[in-house]
Amino acid sequence: MTTHSVEHSDEFRAGRELGLNHVKLGMWLFLASEVMFFGGLISSFLHYKLNNPSLESGLLDVLLVGGNTFVLLTSSYTVVMALAAARTGNTAGLVRNLLLTAVLGAAFLAGQGYEFASLIREGMTPTSSVFGSSFFTLTGFHGLHVLVGLLWALRNLAKALRGGFGEGRALGVEIFGLYWHFVDIVWIVLFTVIYLI
């Protein structure tokens, strides 16, 4: 029914006049709440790092995690390329870049799994000290977010393979991109406060 769809798109007129898509605004608000969630976890981590220093922090492998950081940040580049491809209706480019994003995300998770395993082998666990508790909680929650992003990338990939992102229908990729970049930015903060300072 054409009249119905016309009326429906009319629903968000105030948003369009402001240049705001409602799904994008919703995502930004969700990310704002995520900032506060990670803010709580990061504050707790920093509190213990400053007030209760632990020798276990010497076990952290900055080189390995630095490489892993590079992998994750590269995936932000592929997400940007995926969005550019979706905007021009280039399905092949979209599929390729979403696939690369998923592979890079999976590589990051594998690297994190390897890091966790070696730390646990050396005796640093979530229950070994306050430092261990806050380290594994903070990085673990970030890893969960990467996992969610990875599943979302695969879902978008499936949709792209079905031809679901026609020209001018890049919004789904853009929203996914907002989330993915957010998760990357959180990692930059985490890498700095956990491994560098």
Partner 1 sequence: MTSSQTPASSTFQTLRRYISWNTDHKVIGIQYLVTTFTFFLIGGALAMVMRTELSQPGVDLLNGAEYNRFMTNHGSVMLFLWIIPVFSGFANFMLPIMIGAKDMAFPRLNAASFWLIPPAGVIMLTSFFVGAADAGWTAYVPLSIQSADGQSLWAVSVILLGTSSIMGAINFVTTTVTMRAPGITIWRLPLFVWAMMATALLVIMATPVLTAGLVLVALDRLAGTLFFSVEAGGNPILWQNIFWFYSHPAVYIMVLPGMGIVSEIFPVFSRKPIFGYKMIALSSMAISVLGLTVWAHHMFTSGLDPRLRVPYMITSMVIAVPTGVKIFSWLATIWDGKIRLQTPMLFALGFISMFLIGGITGIFLASIPIDIHVHDTYFVVAHLHFVLFGGAVSAVYAGLYYWFPKITGRMYDENLGKLHFLMNFLGTNLSYLPMFLAGLLGMPRRVADYAPEFQPLNLLATMGAALLASSTLPFLYNAIVSWAKGPRASANPWQGLTLEWSVSSPPPPHNFEHTPAVEYGPYDYGQPRQLEQPASAAAD
Binding site for partner 1 (CB under 8 A): 7, 10-16, 18, 20-22, 25-26, 29-30, 32-34, 36-41, 43-44, 47-48, 51-52, 126-127, 129-130, 132-134, 136-137, 141
- The Cβ-side half-sphere exposure at 133, using a 13 Å CA radius, reads 9
Taking the mean position of all CA atoms in its chain, how far away is CA 168? 24
Q: Which is nearer to partner 1, 77 or 141 (CB)?
A: 141
Read off the tokens for 154: 């695969």
Q: Which is nearer to partner 1, 38 or 108 (CB)?
A: 38
CB of 26 to partner 1, least distance (A): 5
Please give the Cα distance from 99 to 119 (Å, whole number).
Answer: 30
Read off the tokens for 117: 């395993």
Inter-residue contact 110 to 72 (CB < 8 Å): no
CB of 110 to partner 1, least distance (A): 23
CB of 44 to partner 1, least distance (A): 6
| SS3 state at 30 | helix
Q: Which is nearer to partner 1, 55 or 92 (CB)?
A: 55
Q: Which is nearer to partner 1, 59 or 80 (CB)?
A: 59
